[in-house]
Amino acid sequence: MRSQADFFLLAPNRGGLLRLSKFAPKSELVWYFRSPHELDALIGLVRAAAIGRVHYHHTLRLDRKILELPEILGVPYDYTVHDYHCFCPQMTLTTESFAYCGEPDETGCDNCLKLRPAPATESIQLWRSRHRSFVEGAARVFAPSPSVEWRVRRHFPDASIICAPHPEPGSSAIADPAWRHRDGRLRILVLGALSAIKGADLFEACAGDAARRGLPLEFHLLGYAYRNLSHSGDRLVVHGKYQDHKVPDLLQSLSPHIAWFPARFPETYSYTLSAAMRAELPVATTNLGAIHDRLAGRSLSWALPWESNAQQWNDFFLKLSSDPGSCKSLLIPVASGPTTQFSYLKDYLLPQTTSSKTGDADTDFDAYRGPLRASPKVLMQYFKGYARLCLSAAYRLPGIRRLAVTFFPEHRLQRLRRWLDRF
């Protein structure tokens, strides 16, 4: 698409800055603006660039005036839903114990916000009302899966939602999986960075249960967890971080029998699922979210209720290892709704809408090229970033983690991490 249009990327940067760059290989066109003090200069540069459309991928850490940019420029805008931030301040629909909240009524949501307040301590009604005009005002709202579309439409019924899976290289070359287990232990693989809500604790518990009961199961994590995991003898193996382009070779080397996605919340997509599907692996997951959506009708793809505990998962894996046909009732059925026809390659770019409010193309914006001229917040923000890295490293140490959770509940540590992440 770069041959058909010019793309600029606007994103928050440390030090209270907004970073605007030409989205192109080896581009040196980069500018930095203090927010909110230099937003007028930012708008002037965007006008001079004759931007014809704005596409929001998130609104987190953006000044509210940035959400008015399309109106200021006189151009349409799109919005891609990457999480549930537009109707839930917790973003992942999880509780303080890092499990799916069940999406209660507004009273239940406000009770949650008493424990984990929204910015400016807004009520859930005010939060959703504030986001309604933004979501429903978008020309197109892209939802990457049917369940995401359904959830967003529940709260914003007048939104122009298009179900459009994220574009990926090689996604059209996915073949059906094959069952490769014959005898010995069933090798169960989890891919990616495993947080608490993505099932790290359940993953560890399954390995421990398999060791205690002497089950022929072994668990592999190609990636890393949010803390150190007990290896339960040789039942749990953590292979560490990886580079995306090496995943096919790593999967071939590990030769897993099944990929497992134990997330305890409704994911909106999953690039690691795409890797497992390209490797033609059988897949097991929960009955929530986009992973379940994307596996609908696929052979050798099973789902258990998201509340299933370690023993229930291991009973399933044990049954599966001896006779996959005995788990037929757990296969994910074909989706009943219409199949999306949207293509980013064919349908994303629309006829050009040039900004009706042009700026002064002769304005010198070189004064905004340096990131360190910015704000008195710079040193503090870089210090916070370093502190965040140190906290993450320390938290993975078993002794430190046990001490931390003794004095601070997990949800309070999460709030500290979020504060350290703020620009």
Q: Are 30 and 365 in contact (CB under 8 A)?
A: no
Q: How many helices (H) and strands (E) does the chain have?
A: 14, 13
Q: Which CATH class is domain 171-330?
A: alpha beta
Which of 164, 168, 170 is closest to 340 using CA atoms?
164
Write down the pLDDT at residue 265. Answer: 96
Q: What is the pLDDT of residue 407?
A: 67
Site of tokens 């006779």: 323
**Pairwise CA distance, residues 122 & 233, whole Å:** 48
Task: Quote the pLDDT of residue 63.
Answer: 85
pLDDT at 363: 65
Report which DSSP code applies to 285: E
Chunked in runs of 10, what are the mean pLDDT values of the chain (423 residues)?
84 83 82 87 92 94 90 95 96 92 96 88 94 97 96 97 83 72 94 94 97 97 91 92 94 96 96 94 96 94 97 97 93 81 88 58 74 61 70 69 64 66 54
What's the pLDDT at 315?
A: 98
Chain-centre distance for alpha carbon 323? 34
pLDDT for res 391: 73
**Contact of 252 with 108, CB cutoff 8 Å:** no
- Per-residue model confidence (pLDDT) at position 143: 97
Q: Write out 14-59 in H/E/C secondary structure.
A: CCCEEEEEECCCCCCCEEEEECCCCHHHHHHHHHHCCCCCEEECCC
Q: Side by side, which strands form the sheet with 77-80?
A: 54-56, 77-80, 140-143, 161-163
226-246 pLDDT tens trace: 888 988 889 999 999 999 999
Q: How far apart are CA 80 and CA 86, in angstroms?
A: 11
- The predicted pLDDT at position 374 comes to 47
pLDDT one-digit tens code per residue, 69-116: 999 999 999 999 999 999 999 999 999 888 999 999 999 999 999 988
